[in-house]
Structure 1
Amino acid sequence: MTMLSVVIPAYNEEDGIAAIVERVLAIKPALQAVGVDDLECIVVDDGSQDNTAAIVQSFGERVRLIRQQNRGYGGALKTGFSQARGELIGFLDADSTYPPEYFPQMCKAALDGADIVIGSRMAGAHSEMPLVRRIGNTIFAIMLSLVAGVRISDSASGQRVLRRSILPVIYPLPNTLDFTPAMSTRALHEGLRMVEIPIPYRERSGRSKLHVVRDGLRFTKSIVWTALTYNPVRIFGGVGLGLLMLALLIIVGQSIGIGLGILSGWSFPQLFGALVLAVAGVTLYTTGTSFSYLVTLFHKRAIRQGLFGRRGNGRRIERHYWWLGLLAIIDGIGIYIAAVAFDLTNPALNYSWFAPVVSAMLVLMGVQLVSAWGLARVLAELSRREHEQTADLNWTYTPLTTSIEATTQTA
């Protein structure tokens, strides 16, 4: 028998809690029509100071009331999840902004194989979401798409259905309002199947508990830091490549300016700035690749699913760090030797410092690349060791005589 447990976190919601509970209880026949046999409604009173708990108690045994000291939005949901009996767990807010009537459709998607079903406010259905929050949710969705490589239109939606069995995979999750974007980020990086169902959204009457700036920064931090624990190279590498592109643009811009006669000569301060950006970019990118190998040592499930090998071993640039590093070191030493040979380090020159600085930065960049290559090799070996150990222990011996007898019989 399949049961849906709907968890409603409530904090001082006496004005709307009765209405949303009645709407949740009313969907039971529609749930049965899609194959969900039973419904459990759980209200988690997260330290309310009004009549929220008393109103919920008036529903009697039809609703389970859990009372706790205030832990926050995510904390209330996790309490409800821990007490839920259903194979499927749904949740939504207590202020009737989300439509519980869409739970049957969302449960059908879950029964068809989805691990998490998101009620998307951004997927085309009528929405009363304010423009500022709509822009914010669009930014969060783009950010999540960039760090996870998968497109999700509403990473912060507060109406979802998920399988109980995935809770150990997506935990830990925060107790605060960034619970849902953190869940989306972890689920995507764990390779869980996420499906979005368009839902209408009605803006809350009265003052919202969401603070656009404070909670927006919290959502951003949650997405970025969660992504860093799974795929650091996407963050560090993205920033590093951005710095390298900026350095290249400075050099190309100067070249074009000189070629068109706009500039009379090279600007040494700009060239120095480009070099610093290039060194910083290489450092960040190599740091990201090294961190990615460290991450694989902890995320065993992701390794088994191949989520860390999407780029392909043959295309990983870290395999080329050693010769790129040696080339940078040789170039750095060569520049310094040439500068000394042509007297470019003469203190009488205005830019006598430039060639030695360029030489030093290239040598340091080379050392960074060679070190990163060595670290990547060691970490790759450690990440493969457990897999190869398991394969050796589970290897099954097949007697050669069996194959010979089969060949003889065939002949």
Structure 2
Amino acid sequence: MEKTTTLSIVIPAYNEEEGIADIVHRVLGVENDLAKVGISRLELLVVDDGSHDRTAQIVSSIEGVRLIRHVTNKGYGAALKTGFLHARGELIGFLDADGTYPPEYFPQLCQVALNGADLVIGSRMAGAKSKMPITRRIGNLFFANLLSLIGHQKITDSASGMRVFRREVLERIYPLPDGLNLTPVMSVRAIHEGIKMVEEPIPYNERLGRSKLSVVRDGTIFLRSIIWTALTYNPVRILGAIGLAGMVMAAAILLGLVTHRLSGITTLNSWGVTAVFVALVAGVTALDIFALGITFNYLVSLFYKRPIRQGLLGRPLFNPPLEHHFGWMGLFTLLAGLIVGGISLALGVNGWAIARLWLYLLGSAMLILTGMQLIIYWIILRVLEELSQREMLTKKDMDLSQTSEVTLTV
């Protein structure tokens, strides 16, 4: 018996009386083309998200559509999730009600899904003709490049509102937000969950009616959503990069100060004092942020019960990992700070002017504090690593298949 595949398409709608009938008829009109690529049945669901106009009445008058209504407006993401909950298809797709996305491209997206993709995104930025406003185009380029950097996977359109995915994907990408930021969060989760995601170029048109998207407000929400969602999977990718940049800046400033001191300059002007202040704050803060990212990765590993993600670029930079070296690095740095400080204090007691010693005393204090921080983080991370491996080691110890019983006869 030939296996049948149903595609459920969800359209969230809020006060879309001007264009809802047109987009609904266009979706229903692709049923024959869907059959050509292996989709045996089309289910269309429109979720009216508390509209105050005639959106619900128009949809209810069209044959072949399931209308689901929210009593009050809950948001774009909430409407989509309601549709996903009621969908019956093995494949689930969605698009906006404003006519910006072309439902005629659903057969192409479904064909990619049937060929093995778990999530297919209709990309407005992948080469097809697009009438997207310049401000939104710039925003989409920024978010796509940010996600590509964070997720270590090339993405051209992180916030596309036209997608097709396999039903079983939902369990791995939930929870999703109720607002317009559902799509970028879905993209971030899909990348970090290892879901096979493919982008298919689609054209994009100007919407019918007034746009509900605020470039500044919703752009800020998108940015915050992408970063915070990524932090729940691989914190060191973001925090580690910030910390590393801060440490490089602090090291460059301190190197410049030491060079000036060795050249005989013992006084600083206002810019020099500012540089010292920036170097101290940047160095300590950067180390804390870097170590915090690594610590969070261990906590994420404990939460998800998965191997600890390593590296800022999606792969280990050190073997063994850098945090395994924090112990001896901390002891070495602490000892160096004590030696430099001890020598400087001894020279001061013997009459050396403070103008000749202040930089070395300052460096000594920084080395001592940095060494103590590294040692403290090494202890914390060793405990977290032990906890993250406890379940695996317990199973290993209780696995009888690894032993064989031997009976000795006397």
Name the TM-score, length of structure 1 as normaliser.
0.89
Distance 1:399 1:343, change over 3 A: closer
Number of residue-to-residue matches in the alignment = 396
Q: For 2:8, what is the secondary structure of its paired residue?
A: strand
What is the distance in 1 between the residues matched to 2:389 and 2:139? Answer: 41
What is the distance in 1 between the residues matched to 2:401 and 2:196? Answer: 33
CA contact (8 A) 2:18 2:209 kept: no
Identity %: 53
Residue 89 (structure 2) aligned to one of 83, 86, 104: 86
**Which residue in 2 is equivalent to 1:112?**
115
**Which residue in 2 is equivalent to 1:163?**
166
**Which residue in 2 is equivalent to 1:100?**
103
Letter in 2 for 1:360: A
Does 1:24 pair with 2:7? no
Does 1:275 pair with 2:280? yes
What is the distance in 2 between the residues matched to 1:343 and 1:257? Answer: 21
**Which residue in 2 is equivalent to 1:66?**
68
Q: For 2:233, what is the secondary structure of its paired residue?
A: coil
Does 1:335 pair with 2:340? yes
Does 1:290 pair with 2:295? yes
Q: For 1:297, what is the secondary structure of its paired residue?
A: helix
CA contact (8 A) 2:338 2:368 kept: yes
Q: Which moved more, 1:390-399 or 1:353-362?
A: 390-399
What is the distance in 1 between the residues matched to 2:155 and 2:130? Answer: 17
**Which residue in 1 is equivalent to 2:322?**
317
**1:267-315 Cα shifts (integer Å, max 9, x gaps):** 4542343233122111111111011001001123x54xx8668534724
Q: For 2:348, what is the secondary structure of its paired residue?
A: coil
Structural mapping, 1:190-201, within 5 Å: 190-201=193-204
Letter in 2 for 1:387: M
Q: Which moved more, 1:222-231 or 1:374-383?
A: 374-383
Distance 1:393 1:84, change over 3 A: farther
Q: Which moved more, 1:27-36 or 1:71-80?
A: 27-36
**Which residue in 2 is equivalent to 1:46?**
49
Letter in 1 for 2:33: A
CA contact (8 A) 1:345 1:356 kept: no
**Which residue in 1 is equivalent to 2:79?**
76
**1:297-340 Cα shifts (integer Å, max 9, x gaps):** 1123x54xx86685347241111111111111112211211111
CA contact (8 A) 1:41 1:63 kept: yes
**Which residue in 1 is equivalent to 2:216?**
213
CA contact (8 A) 1:296 1:308 kept: no
**Which residue in 2 is equivalent to 1:409?**
none
**Which residue in 1 is equivalent to 2:384?**
379
Q: Runs of 5+ in structure 1 lacking a partner? A: 402-411
**1:340-398 Cα shifts (integer Å, max 9, x gaps):** 11118989745876544433332221111112112222212222222333455566368
Q: Runs of 5+ in structure 2 lacking a partner? A: none
CA contact (8 A) 1:42 1:84 kept: yes
Distance 1:307 1:22, change over 3 A: farther
Q: For 1:378, what is the secondary structure of its paired residue?
A: helix
Q: For 2:9, what is the secondary structure of its paired residue?
A: strand
Deviation at 1:251?
Answer: 3.7
Q: Give the CA RMSD over aligned residues.
A: 2.7
Letter in 1 for 2:326: Y
Structural mapping, 1:108-147, within 5 Å: 108-147=111-150
**Which residue in 2 is equivalent to 1:408?**
none
**Which residue in 2 is equivalent to 1:365?**
370
CA contact (8 A) 2:98 2:209 kept: no
Q: For 1:342, what is the secondary structure of its paired residue?
A: helix
CA contact (8 A) 2:297 2:309 kept: no
What is the distance in 2 between the residues matched to 1:345 and 1:354? Answer: 17
**Which residue in 2 is equivalent to 1:227?**
230
Distance 1:350 1:96, change over 3 A: same
What is the distance in 2 between the residues matched to 1:346 and 1:8? Answer: 81
Q: For 2:107, what is the secondary structure of its paired residue?
A: helix
Letter in 2 for 1:154: D
Deviation at 1:165?
Answer: 0.4
Q: For 1:151, what is the secondary structure of its paired residue?
A: coil
Q: Which moved more, 1:66-75 or 1:373-382?
A: 373-382
Distance 1:239 1:64, change over 3 A: same
Structural mapping, 1:235-246, within 5 Å: 235-246=238-249
Letter in 2 for 1:67: R
Distance 1:284 1:341, change over 3 A: same
What is the distance in 2 between the residues matched to 1:93 and 1:28? Answer: 18
Distance 1:255 1:400, change over 3 A: same
Letter in 1 for 2:9: V
CA contact (8 A) 1:258 1:264 kept: yes
Q: For 1:325, what is the secondary structure of its paired residue?
A: helix
What is the distance in 2 between the residues matched to 1:108 and 1:351? Answer: 74
What is the distance in 2 between the residues matched to 1:350 and 1:95? Answer: 71
